[in-house]
Structure 1
Amino acid sequence: MAQVHLTSSRISLIFDNGVNENGKPVTKAKSFANVAVSATPDAIRQFAAAYASLQQKALVRVTRTDLNDISE
């Protein structure tokens, strides 16, 4: 049976960057690699809020991307 092993995580903070010439929202992302695989969603959200408080642009969303190894 195959097993999944979480090997690394990355988070991205997505900020509002205004609108384009067509009036569509534009965003800008700031990514952080080497996030502890044990980091909880609450800890990530707390970090994102602290980082966003230092920025001029509004935080729109936070994403987490996990890399998994699948083995037998």
Structure 2
Amino acid sequence: MALALLEGTKLRLVFEAGMDGKGNPLYKAKTFSNVKKEATADQLFQAAQAISVLCKDPLNKVERNDSTEILA
């Protein structure tokens, strides 16, 4: 049976940075590494909200990216 080991977690904030010439939204993202693996979704969302207050562009989306190693 295979075993999955959580190696790391990253927090990615996606901001709406304006519109292009056709009226489509433009996005930019900022990724934060070395996030505690034990962090809950609520804790990550609170951190994202606190960080977004310091940014000029509105926060569009918050993502959690986990990397996992699969062992045989």
TMscore range, shorter length: over 0.9
Residue 3 of structure 2: aligned partner: 3
Q: Give how far 1:22 is off.
A: 1.1
Residue 34 of structure 2: aligned partner: 34
Q: Give how far 1:7 is off.
A: 0.7
> How large is the RMSD of aligned CA atoms in angstroms?
0.6
TM-score by length of 1: 0.96
| Runs of 4 or more consecutive aligned structure 1 residues displaced over 4 Å after TM superposition | none
Summarize deviations over 1:4-60 as a string: whole Å, max 9, x none.
Answer: 111101111000100001111001101101111111100000000000011111000
Residue 20 of structure 1: aligned partner: 20
User: Percent of aligned positions with the same letter in both sequences?
Assistant: 36
The number of residue pairs the alignment matches comes to 72
TM-score by length of 2: 0.96
Structure 2 unmatched ranges of 5 or more:
none
* Partner secondary structure for residue 23 of structure 2: coil
